[in-house]
């Protein structure tokens, strides 16, 4: 469109629903440290009333057609989305555009939502399984915007003012930062015509958000809490979203702790009964990534559990996986991917992320082909390129102190 807004659609034959997302290429990494949490605060406030609709009216309107309306904020983008029956898509487009273009930012609503967000922060702090991941990211990406919590801190949220939200909205929500994505029961030209009419006066401004990639930091840090378990995250660098090595990274993660048949789930939970919750995951951004292992166990077994994790990481760094194990991981990921295509929510999200990270939409066949091409040697090469002892990071929270870890040798061996 003339003001830079991109409109992407995928018509899904036989789909009854349509999912629409208004994506803003702006997230927590684009905030100053003083205004940490402003993207998330703004996400909350856009649902609190417009010139045309009150907050209760917004909720009643989407409920009246059996739809769902929500939003989320991440490090690199924010998304406002709705899922409705295809015949109600024009209503969803109108509603989402209204909250984005015409929100009034009422001061009373702002103060109420400030209290809600502060409660959200306290809720996260009260959950060790939640806060350990934030501890890890803060330490691993130390001093970089990617290490900031998306919700902000108590101090920054308390200090944010209405004028700062409005200024952030004006600077970062211009047309060149917006993507409208719809998957399901949709006609592309009809959607383009509606978006063009609704956003005809929206400015095309684009805010330069270039920042340097972060450097991973080595650390062993403990946070004593009087709770039953010790929760820990142990992580290493991984490929970013734009590298084809991410396919090898996803396969490695699947075999390590990303499934019920993974090495860590089978060893720590099924064989030894050391943890109820144990898993690994990849977190990938446009210019950086991390592979993270999480587990919660007793204080008497946490050292042993960490050593088992390090042993499995070392195995990946020194030995190619068994061909049958690699083949099974490929089938698992291919199966998950193909099943995800049955959801208009997932198809819409895939459209947007492909546009954000690659500038084009990869076909499902291309995804499967690249996944299938990964070899055991590719996994070895990935670990040799990204994994070093001086990049390991270990965070722990629970009934433990820093002096309790003389036997943990934080190396891959």
pLDDT attached to residue 403: 60
Q: Which position among 10, 25, 43, 134 bears the catalytic label?
A: 43
DSSP 8-state code for residue 50: B
CA angle 395, 146, 348 (to 5 degrees): 110
Residue among 257, 217, 211, 264 at smallest CA distance from 237: 217
CA distance 59 to 54: 9
pLDDT attached to residue 413: 67
> Order of strands, edge to edge, in the sheet holding 230-237?
219-224, 393-398, 230-237, 289-297, 278-284
Active site residue 403: no
Tens-digit pLDDT string for the chain (413 aa):
668 999 999 999 999 999 999 999 999 999 999 999 999 999 999 999 999 999 999 999 999 999 999 999 999 999 999 999 999 999 999 999 999 999 999 999 999 999 999 999 999 888 998 899 999 999 999 999 999 999 999 999 999 999 999 999 999 999 999 999 999 999 999 999 999 999 998 888 766 566 788 999 999 999 989 999 999 999 999 999 999 999 999 999 999 999 999 999 999 999 999 999 999 999 999 999 999 999 999 999 999 999 999 999 999 999 999 999 999 999 999 999 999 999 999 999 999 999 999 999 999 999 999 999 999 999 999 999 999 889 999 999 999 865 655 466 777 76
pLDDT attached to residue 2: 66
Dump strand ranges (E) for 68-136.
Answer: 68-73, 78-85
Phi/psi of residue 355, nearest 5 degrees: -65, -45
Would you call 55 helix, strand, or coil by DSSP? helix
């Amino acid at each position: 469109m003339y003001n830079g807004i991109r409109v992407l659609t995928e018509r899904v034959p036989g789909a009854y629903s349509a999912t629409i997302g208004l994506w803003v290429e702006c997230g927590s990494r684009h905030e100053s440290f003083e205004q940490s949490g402003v993207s998330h605060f703004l996400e909350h406030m856009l649902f609190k009333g417009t010139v045309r609709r009150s907050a209760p009216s917004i909720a009643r309107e989407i409920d009246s057609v059996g739809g769902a309306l929500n939003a989320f904020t991440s490090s690199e983008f924010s998304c406002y989305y709705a899922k409705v029956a295809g015949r109600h898509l024009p209503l969803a487009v109108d509603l989402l555009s209204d909250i984005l273009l015409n929100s009034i930012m009422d001061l009373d609503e702002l103060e109420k939502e400030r209290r809600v967000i502060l409660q959200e922060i306290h809720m996260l702090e009260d959950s060790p399984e939640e806060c350990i991941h934030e501890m890890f990211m803060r330490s691993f990406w130390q001093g970089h915007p990617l290490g900031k919590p998306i919700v902000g801190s108590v101090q920054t949220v308390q200090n944010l003012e209405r004028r700062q939200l409005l200024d952030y909205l004006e600077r970062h929500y211009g047309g060149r930062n917006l993507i409208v994505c719809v998957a399901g029961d949709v006609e592309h030209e009809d959607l383009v015509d509606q978006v063009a009419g609704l956003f005809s006066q929206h400015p095309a401004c684009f805010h330069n958000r270039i920042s340097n990639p972060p450097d991973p930091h080595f650390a062993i840090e403990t946070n004593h809490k009087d709770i039953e378990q010790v929760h820990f995250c142990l992580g290493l660098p991984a490929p970013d979203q734009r590298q084809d090595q991410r396919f090898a990274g996803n396969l490695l993660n699947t075999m390590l702790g990303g499934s019920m048949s993974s090495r860590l789930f089978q060893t720590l939970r099924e064989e030894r009964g050391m943890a109820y919750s144990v898993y690994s995951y990849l977190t990938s951004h446009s210019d950086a990534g991390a592979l993270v292992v999480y587990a919660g166990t007793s204080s008497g077994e946490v050292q042993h559990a960490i050593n088992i994790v390090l042993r499995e990481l070392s195995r990946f760094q020194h030995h190619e996986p068994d061909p049958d194990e690699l083949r099974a991981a490929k089938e698992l990921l291919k199966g998950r991917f193909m099943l995800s295509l049955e959801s208009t929510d997932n198809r819409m999200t895939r459209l947007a992320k492909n546009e954000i990270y690659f500038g084009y939409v990869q076909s499902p066949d291309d995804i499967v082909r690249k996944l299938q091409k990964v070899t055991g040697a590719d996994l070895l090469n990935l670990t040799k390129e990204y994994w070093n002892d001086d990049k390991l990071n270990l965070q722990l929270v629970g009934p433990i102190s820093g002096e309790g870890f003389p036997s943990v040798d934080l190396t891959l061996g």
